[in-house]
Amino acid sequence: MTQSERGPLAGVRVLDFTQFLSGPYATQILGDLGAEVIKIEPPEGDLSRTVAPNFVRDDSVYFHTINRNKRSLVLNLKRPGALDVIRRLIAESDIVMENFRPGVLDRLGLSRREEMERDPSLIWCSISGFGQDGPARDLPAYDMVVQAASGTMSLTGEEGGRPLRTGVPVGDLAAGLNAAIGVLAALEHRRSTGRGDYIDVSMLDCLVSMLNYQASYYLHSGVPPRPQGTGHDSVPTYRAFTCGDGQVMVTTANTERMWAEMARVLGHEELITDSRFVTNADRLRNKEALWAIIEPAFLSHSAAEWVQRFNAASIPAALVKSVPEALADPQVVHRQMVVTLEDGKGSRVSVPGNPIKFEKSARKEHAFPPRLGEDGKDVLVAAGLDDTDIDQLVADGALVPGWSA
């Protein structure tokens, strides 16, 4: 493949120590964009390789979802020689990414500060639950812990119900996205200055930033936000409605034009000039009365028919779909948001695709997620080690030879 066919980050090397979700999601984004990602795994492998219940080629589908376009090298950082290999690989890399708890790498003998002093152009990104400093820095964290600590769970669910975690792991994914954004910004900064940078991404910080207007509303008014269910604190016509077939649709009629069109489509044009509903502020103040009028109207047709009518009037609307329905949607299929990866030996797995679409420099092919350690020898030979060096690392227990599996 030409450089443009490998993606816009072709020529960038990432040394990836991350495991499970937040970090691997970030490095997969970089790999999808063309970076060479070398995944450093412990002898037992990334923990996500063993997540039940679905497996392909002895590795979890969970692992396959977030580890395409990577190469795997297995090193035991507690054994002699392993850190020397790591330092050699760092010297040849543009970016180091890790999501260990703060201080773990230092205890293993690998100092981020020393490596960045040795190479001032190096970019290093750490992802953690609570950040590299502060009173909570050493606490363990997974996605739901951070959803709870950030206030996100307090906003999820129906009013009066128990707090719920979101259906997708937003804490992990938000951290991965922000890490990728930070790394790309650091690459641009290095291009103009020659200097690298250290990026500290906290899952808690990411979710607090995503509280967005809910946090600002509270900071302004002093009124704590509550769960909204399928509604909206500011727009009473931004919500879900049950239709005549029992199916649910949503609409986000949040402008005056959309409101007027919504009233007409529902057969309640008189509401447009009703003094209770003239402006959004009026409608918000009288939302219970408004809902009492329009909710029965939705029962006269199926959800699919209402969505068609709303869209014809340029009012945003959609069916509430299941995951199978969403993945089979013609728009999702057209946008190639489900991709099938094949290893050339009969194994295949379908996973969500890359949402970033390039006209000229998109990566043309995606590599199947690696077996544990399968690229180790190739990576080490490219780094200047010979067979004698490699055999010694294996004998010392520092290197696991997955390429022979």
Cα separation, 243 vs 302, in Å, equals 5
CB 94 within 8 A of CB 123: yes
For residue 403, the model assigns a pLDDT of 83
Closest CA to 29 of 48, 42, 41, 16: 16
pLDDT at 275: 98
Q: Are 97 and 90 in contact (CB under 8 A)?
A: no
Domains of the chain: 3-210+333-404 (3.40.50.10540), 238-242+248-319 (3.30.1540.10)
Phi, psi at 385, each rounded to 5°: -85, 145
Q: Which of 35, 37, 34 is nearest to 15 (CA)?
A: 37
Q: How many Cβ atoms sit within 10 Å of the Cβ of residue 133? A: 10
Catalytic pick from 46, 94, 143, 172? 172
Question: What local confidence, expressed as pLDDT, does residue 235 receive?
Answer: 97
**Catalytic-residue membership of 172:** yes
Q: Identify the DSSP state of 313.
A: T
Q: How is residue 213 written in tokens? A: 């207007």
pLDDT in tens, the chain (405 residues): 677 688 999 999 999 999 999 999 999 999 999 999 999 999 999 999 999 999 999 999 999 999 999 999 999 999 999 999 999 999 999 999 999 999 999 999 999 999 999 999 999 999 999 999 999 999 999 999 999 999 999 999 999 999 999 999 999 999 999 999 999 999 999 999 999 999 999 999 999 999 999 999 999 999 999 998 999 999 999 999 999 999 999 999 999 999 999 999 999 999 999 999 999 999 999 999 999 999 999 999 999 999 999 999 999 999 999 999 999 999 999 999 999 999 999 999 999 999 999 999 999 999 999 999 999 999 999 999 999 999 999 999 999 999 854
- Give me 316's structure tokens: 């945003």
